Amino acid sequence: MKSFIDKFTAFYGSAPTAAAMAPGRLEILGNHTDYNQGFVLSCAVAQNTAFAMKRTEGTVCTLRDFRSGATMEFDLADLDDVPRNGSRYVKGMVKELAKRGYKVTAFDAAIESSVPLSAGMSSSAALETAAGYAIGKEFGIDLDKAEWARCGQGVENNYLGLKSGLLDQFSSIFGKRDSMILSDFRTVEVLRTAALPEGYSIVVINSMKKHNLVDSEYNVRRADCEAAAKVMNSIVPGATTLRDISLEQLADAKGKMSDREYRRALHVVGECTRVMEGVKLLDAGDVAGFGDLWFQSHYSSRDNFENSTPELDYLVELAKSVPGCLGARLSGGGFGGITIHLVASDAAEEYAKRVSAAYESKTGTAAECIICNIGDGAKLIEL
């Protein structure tokens, strides 16, 4: 952190007055369940985005990105104007705070990050959260943690038009070192933590391919889920979201909705079930059973939710043939991005090498591999 603060000082000529850092996240089980008010098992990763700032005169903010070397500017005089570059996440946060009645004036800021970009590890949520925490400190804005997560979600939903749930910001804020967190997105709370079994690691393998219609596809999936929930509401009294539906109730209602809506709902209800089942298996020490749920989750993404890609499917297929892996699945929104693999720690490096070599020879693209450590949630940086 010191070198980041020093770079800020060298770039702007004086030290920052507030700084914070926030991690990326991995969705372990519970795909597209958050906006259906369901359950998710997730964790924060050790890779963080750091954000530092100090106030300045006028209305124009400067944002220096030390990773890319870009310097961006945006004007707080027109909060509705959405920047085309990465500063949109910071300006969007200022706008969300303004909507909540907090006035933020111009500042100079800088960021540094080790969270892979556009991969499905929520680099945008990490930036929103780190910016929010630092701005909050500088301007005396005291929100509870869930509300900070809602501010970040608001940036995505209202400013950028992606109707995402709370998972990314929530995990970035509530993550706990060395533990996964089981979250309930109806009550918006962490229900408990669950340790990754001793001797196993999460290997992230990035397909390096991103579908370019991600946001619109995401919103269409969400609309399908809501349509299915509406049908279920007319059958199951009191059911407001897919979270309230059991697999049996859904099966009974199969003929009452389109096949597509049924498969979307089956994925979400199945994922909520797998999350709860996964935690039980972990408690019972059944790591193989836990890993198998990752495969089931992926197959449901591929067949029911249709948010996989041939590249992601291939990475999961490799997990079945390369020794050392107990489970693999796409993680995050889908339509490209990353897969996560549950691998015996002593085999992890060799496993990553073999999978990425096979992936490269088939696709011509080198997959980025990270043996992930589970990190702590967002925090202020002491200056």
Residues that bind ligand GLA (CB under 6 A): 27, 31-32, 34-35, 164-165, 167-168, 332-333
Of 367, 274, 265, 372, which Cα lies nearest the Cα of 312? 367
- Residue 351 has a CB neighbour count (10 Å cut-off) of 24
Distances in Å between the alpha carbon of 87 and those of 9, 93, 154, 171?
A: 20, 10, 15, 22
Q: Is 32 helix (H, G, I), strand (E, B) or coil?
A: coil
First to last CA, the chain: 10
CB 156, min distance to ligand GLA, A: 7
CA 184, CA 353: separation in Å to the nearest integer?
36
Q: 125, 25 in Cβ contact below 8 A?
A: yes
Tokens encoding 345? 């720690």
CA 129, CA 126: separation in Å to the nearest integer?
5
> Which is nearer to ligand GLA, 339 or 356 (by Cβ)?
339
CB-facing half-sphere around the CA of 322: CA atoms within 13 A: 26
CB 331, min distance to ligand GLA, A: 8
CB 291, min distance to ligand GLA, A: 19
> Which is nearer to ligand GLA, 31 or 48 (by Cβ)?
31
> Which is nearer to ligand GLA, 62 or 122 (by Cβ)?
122
> Which is nearer to ligand GLA, 135 or 275 (by Cβ)?
275
How does strand 60-65 pair with strand 107-113? parallel
How does strand 39-55 pair with strand 107-113? antiparallel
CB 38, min distance to ligand GLA, A: 9
> Which is nearer to ligand GLA, 217 or 277 (by Cβ)?
217
> Which is nearer to ligand GLA, 18 or 119 (by Cβ)?
119
Burial group, residue 342, by CB count within 10 angstroms (0-12, 13-18, 19+): buried
CB 296, min distance to ligand GLA, A: 16
CB 329, min distance to ligand GLA, A: 11
> Which is nearer to ligand GLA, 16 or 24 (by Cβ)?
24
Tokens encoding 265? 């709902």
Of 325, 88, 40, 65, which Cα lies nearest the Cα of 184? 40
Q: Which residues pair with 71 in a beta bridge?
A: 64
Q: Is 356 helix (H, G, I), strand (E, B) or coil?
A: helix
Q: Is 331 helix (H, G, I), strand (E, B) or coil?
A: coil
Q: Which residues are catalytic?
A: 168
CB 238, min distance to ligand GLA, A: 24
CB 92, min distance to ligand GLA, A: 14
Of 226, 270, 269, 267, which Cα lies nearest the Cα of 244? 269
Phi, psi (deg, nearest 5) at residue 269: -65, -40
> Which is nearer to ligand GLA, 62 or 206 (by Cβ)?
206
Q: Which residues contact 9 (CB under 8 A, 6 or more apart)?
A: 15, 16
